[in-house]
Amino acid sequence: MGSLTKADMAERLNEELGLNKREAKDMVESFFEEIRTSLASNEQVKLSGFGNFDLRDKRQRPGRNPKTGEEVPISARRVVTFRPGQKLKDRVEAYADNGGEL
């Protein structure tokens, strides 16, 4: 069980699409950068088939310092959530059906 990285993705763009190594690396970088920029401008990202990156505003809520037990409020914040698309969900479930360790 491995881990897919930006380097693996650039390598495939180089090998399969023939982008040169510099272009391939820049493409992968700018792909994630554009998604991040969009989310940082409070703009949802919808990649059909793969999934949606949504933004949620959370209100301040009470929390606790786990070490001291002291009550510390958790401040209001904006968070990213990912909702996988149907195609991705189906593909991942198929993994479980085909010998994923369950």
Partner 1 sequence: MTKSELIERLVDRHEQLSVKDVELAVKTMLDQMTEALSHGDRIEIRGFGSFSLHYRAPRVGRNPKTGASVSLTAKYVPHFKPGKELREQVNDSLLRD
Judged by the rule CB under 8 A, the positions of this chain that interact with partner 1 are: 1-6, 8-9, 12-13, 16-17, 19, 23, 26-28, 30-32, 34-36, 38-51, 53, 55, 57, 76-82, 84, 87-89, 91-96, 100-102
Smallest distance, partner 1 to C-beta of residue 65, A: 20
Question: DSSP string covering 41-81, please?
Answer: TT--EEETTTEEEEEEEE--EEEE-TTT--EEEEPPEEEEE
Of 70 and 97, CB closest to partner 1: 97
Look up residue 83 and give its DSSP letter.
E
